[in-house]
Amino acid sequence: MEPRCWPEHAPDGSAVHVERQPPIYPGTTLWRHGTAFTGLYTVRNGCIKVMETDETGGDRVLSFAFAGDMIGLEALASGRHETTAVALTEAMVCFLPWPLRAEAGADGALPLRLLQRASTLLQQRSRAIRLADPDLSVQRFLKEIAARIGRVEQSGGAPAIRLRLPMSRMEIGQYLGYAEETVCRSMHRLRRQGEIEVSGRTLLLKSKAGAPRSAALPALAAAPAPVRARSADSTLA
């Protein structure tokens, strides 16, 4: 039930208080830098970007959150957010007030499970590094996003994944640590190589020529996304 945040009727011994929020629209801010931490958000649908302002005053995207992702945990220790979270698309989120308030009869197992999941994601991000090759970085980023929100279809008799990017080329660059022009050039080279088809923000990611049909699609989306090296308290996504 993660994409919906919570079951309508949670089993006995596992219920915590969750506030379902009304739909939010592109540009809506969930929190700003300096806002007091009052709880966690989980994404039901849509895309939320979490960003910070660097030393030069420019925006740096830390993560893109999709259905099932939890965001905001990095502010727990200090009590204030050092980031800003903005909706890139129409989205729905659930809010878990902190400290988690268990419903009557809950035994606390579910809050512990949430924290264990958060810890695992933070560990994964603390070990991730940015790739030196921008073409490979962009390609792996697109594959990771396609694995989250893409739709499988056939292209020339081979499986492919179609998706519409919720973020701009500039925001991809802010996430990967490249200029917008670098991202555009990398996507142009990938298109010339036949790896992708591009129409605005709509992409078609193709499997490698000659790959067995059964193995082509897993190979297409298996690579992890590149993430710039950050401390272990990075925002989840």
Count of all residues that appear for the chain in the document: 237
**Cα–Cα dist 216/210, whole Å:** 9
Q: What is the pLDDT of residue 10?
A: 52
pLDDT at 232 over 50: no
**Cα–Cα dist 162/149, whole Å:** 9
Q: Is 134-221 the same fold as 2-127?
A: no
23-38 per-position pLDDT tens digit? 999 999 999 999 999 9
How would DSSP label each residue in 75-115? GTTTSB-SSEEEESSSBEEEEEESS--BPTT--SHHHHHHH
Please say whether the beta carbons of 168 and 176 come within 8 A.
no
| CATH node for 134-221 | 1.10.10.10
For the chain, the structural domain boundaries read 2-127, 134-221
**Cα–Cα dist 222/205, whole Å:** 13
Span of 9-13, 53-57, 149-153, 173-177 with lowest mean pLDDT: 9-13
Q: What is the pLDDT of residue 121?
A: 66
Q: What is the pLDDT of residue 53?
A: 87
Which residue in 3, 201, 165, 195 sits closest to 94, CA to CA? Answer: 3
Say yes or no: domain 2-127 is CATH 2.60.120.10. Answer: yes
* Dihedral sign for Cα atoms in the order 229, 234, 235, 237: positive
In this prediction, residues 196-223 reach a mean pLDDT of 65
Q: Which two tokens stand for residue 7?
A: 């079951």
Residues 6+ apart with CB under 8 A from 199: none
63-106 per-position pLDDT tens digit? 899 988 888 888 888 899 999 999 999 999 999 888 876 655 55
Q: What is the pTM of this model?
A: 0.77
108-148 per-position pLDDT tens digit? 666 676 777 677 666 656 555 566 789 999 999 999 999 99
Place of tokens 């056939």: 154
42 vs 85 pLDDT, higher one: 85
103 vs 174 pLDDT, higher one: 174
Q: Which two tokens stand for residue 63?
A: 């993560």
